[in-house]
């Protein structure tokens, strides 16, 4: 049993939700001493919402078209996070920027995962662009989110070797497998209160 209070996680998704699933599974297996309490999607058809329902996790679609501005939309996201008493916000394939409405409410407590070694190959096609560039090593990054895509203090990174003969599909599979391991481990650093900040720098106590 963890000696600290279990963190409540809110996961933002747009798509298939394999990272959400990995986080739910790690929580159930006690590899991660935190609980996913709500999954929020900007896409009604995101399969991740179904994964959440099957795991007994609240699944909420927030329809962008129901809000006049991005600011109002982000306030709606914040309201759902607060309603579920979320401590840590996890972006897992959420394909939009998160606004200051949410970021300011969760200082240093919004995480994102990106399928490359940032700052290389930021953007929506990081795996393909690294593959087409011909890199021999790429990987996965978990970082704090800010108001720009794929920026913010790095919490964890893991390399993935591109072997001769690897196809794009093979590389994608290797990277996703690493994501599914690394994201729960990075979240566990927060769950164990091993991440702190002096206001400028992030300190990670991995001892």
Instruction: Report the catalytic residues.
Output: 114
| Distance from the first to the final alpha carbon of the chain | 19
In angstroms, the CA 99 to CA 3 distance is 33
CB of 83 to ligand GRF, least distance (A): 23
Chain residue whose CB lies nearest ligand GRF: 93
DSSP for 4-62, written as a single string: SPPEEEEEEESS--HHHHHHHHHHHTTSS-EEEEEEEESSTT-HHHHHHHHTT-EEEE-
Q: Which residue, 84 or 180, has its beta carbon nearer to ligand GRF?
A: 180
Distance in Å, CB of 196 to ligand GRF, minimum: 25
Quick check: 93 binds ligand GRF (CB under 6 A)? yes
Based on CB atoms, which residue is closest to ligand GRF, 18 or 27? Answer: 18
- What is the C-alpha to C-alpha distance for residues 182 and 156, in angstroms, rounded to an integer? 8
Nearer to ligand GRF, 75 or 178 (CB): 178
How many other C-beta atoms lie within 10 A of the C-beta of residue 74?
21
Q: How many residues bind ligand GRF (CB under 6 A)?
A: 13
By CB under 6 A, the residues from 8 to 47 that bind ligand GRF are 13, 15-19
Residues between 52 and 91 that touch ligand GRF (CB under 6 A) = none
Please, what is the minimum distance in Å from the beta carbon of residue 205 to ligand GRF?
Answer: 25
- The residues facing 9 across adjacent strands are 36, 88
Interface with ligand GRF (CB under 6 A), residue from 52, 60, 62, 92 = 92
Which lies closer to ligand GRF via its Cβ, residue 75 or residue 172? 172
Q: Which of residues 141-180 bind ligand GRF (CB under 6 A)?
A: 179
CB of 147 to ligand GRF, least distance (A): 17
Q: How far is the CB of 201 from ligand GRF (least distance, A)?
A: 25
> CA 47 to CA 141: how far, in whole Å?
23
* Two structure tokens written together for 191: 């769950």
Q: State how far Cα 168 lies from the chain centre.
A: 23
* Strand-strand pairing, 110-114 and 88-91: parallel
Contacts of 69 (CB under 8 A, 6+ apart): none
Q: What residues make contact with ligand GRF under the rule CB under 6 A?
A: 13, 15-19, 48, 92-93, 113-115, 179
């Amino acid at each position: 049993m963890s000696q600290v209070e279990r963190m409540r996680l809110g996961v933002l998704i747009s798509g298939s939700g394999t990272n959400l699933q990995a986080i739910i599974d790690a929580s159930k297996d006690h590899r991660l001493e935190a609980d996913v309490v709500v999954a929020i999607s900007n896409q009604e058809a995101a399969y991740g919402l179904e994964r959440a329902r099957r795991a007994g996790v609240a699944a909420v679609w927030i329809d962008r078209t129901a809000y006049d501005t991005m600011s109002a939309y982000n306030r709606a996201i914040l309201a759902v996070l607060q309603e579920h008493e979320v401590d840590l916000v996890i972006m897992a394939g959420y394909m939009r920027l998160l606004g200051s409405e949410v970021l300011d409410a969760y200082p240093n407590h919004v995480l994102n995962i990106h399928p490359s070694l940032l700052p290389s190959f930021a953007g929506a096609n990081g795996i393909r662009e690294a593959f087409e560039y011909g890199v021999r090593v790429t990987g996965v990054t978990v970082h704090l989110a800010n108001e720009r895509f794929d920026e913010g203090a790095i919490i964890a990174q893991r390399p993935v070797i591109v072997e001769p003969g690897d196809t794009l599909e093979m590389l994608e599979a290797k990277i996703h497998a690493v994501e599914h391991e690394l994201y729960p481990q990075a979240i566990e650093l927060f769950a164990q209160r091993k991440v702190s900040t002096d206001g400028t720098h992030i300190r990670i106590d991995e001892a």
